[in-house]
Every structure is written in C-alpha cells, then in structure tokens.
C-alpha cells in the first residue's frame, strides 16, 4: 500500500480506506517467486494499461504470444491477462508468465474449461459439473 500511495501520489490513509472498502485492489500472488511491479487498480487511481493476449482453439502460436508479452513489458504495461482458450493452456501460461515475469498476470479459468470441453466433447456446452 505504501508503494501504491507513493506511485499514485495519494495519501496512504486514502489507499488503506479504499482497499478496506473494496474500491481499490492491489493484486499480488504470494506464490510467485518473481518480483512484481506493484499496482493499485480502482477508484481515484491513475488509469492502468492491461494487455490481453492468448491463443485460440483455431490458432496457437506460443512464440507470437511470448513476443506480445515481451513488448507489453518493454513499453510499460501494468498488467497482462492471458485469454488463451486453445492449445496446452498450462504450458502457454507458464511461458507467458515467465515472459511477463515483472507484471501482474491473470487468466480466465473458465477458458480452460471451455478448451477442455472442445477437446473432450467437441462441444464446450457438454462440459459437466465434474469437468469444472
């Protein structure tokens, strides 16, 4: 919170109050070993640049997605979201996470379920509760 207050040029107490209210978030995954650029997202803060990348069921080129992640880091993106829904999603995320190691990184778990449904059933609408 101290770093966000400094970066945003906002009083620390304002940050604390808004985090407590839920109008500001500071994403952090303690399981990540990399040092992450801390960002605050929410009410009263500067606009952040989020980069959406990812493969699809129709086109998977992990090298292109890694290149996009590196460009995002180079040009100062704040966060990266992997929207992949095709290919080996665990491998794709692992590679993208490494390429964007200094940024907050997110994914959409239901997209993995979608990909699983396409692979297993040829139709994602047939995903069962157990598949999730």
pLDDT tens digits along 59-80: 999 999 999 999 999 999 999 9
**Predicted pLDDT at 57:** 81
Q: Indicate the pLDDT class of residue 124, thresholds 50, 70 and 90.
A: confident
CA 118 to chain CA centroid, nearest Å: 23
pLDDT tens digits along 14-35: 999 999 999 999 998 888 878 8
Q: Where do we find the tokens 């590679």?
A: 95
The pTM score is 0.82
Distance CA 52, CA 83 (A): 7
Give which of 29, 28, 24 is closest to 41, Cα–Cα.
24
Q: Rounded to a whole number, what is the distance in angstroms from the first to the last CA of the chain?
A: 35
Strands 24-25 vs 79-82: parallel, antiparallel or unpaired: unpaired
């Amino acid at each position: 919170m101290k770093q966000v207050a400094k970066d945003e040029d906002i009083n620390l107490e304002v940050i604390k109050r808004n985090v407590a209210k839920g109008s500001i978030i500071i994403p952090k995954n303690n399981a990540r070993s990399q040092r992450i650029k801390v960002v605050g997202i929410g009410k009263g803060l500067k606009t952040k640049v989020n980069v959406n990348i990812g493969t699809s069921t129709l086109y998977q080129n992990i090298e292109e997605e890694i290149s996009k992640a590196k460009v995002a880091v180079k040009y100062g993106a704040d966060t990266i979201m992997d929207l992949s829904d095709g290919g080996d999603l665990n491998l794709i995320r692992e590679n993208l996470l490494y390429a964007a190691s200094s940024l907050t990184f997110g994914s959409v778990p239901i997209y993995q379920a979608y990909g699983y449904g396409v692979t297993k059933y040829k139709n994602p609408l047939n995903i069962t509760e157990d598949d999730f």
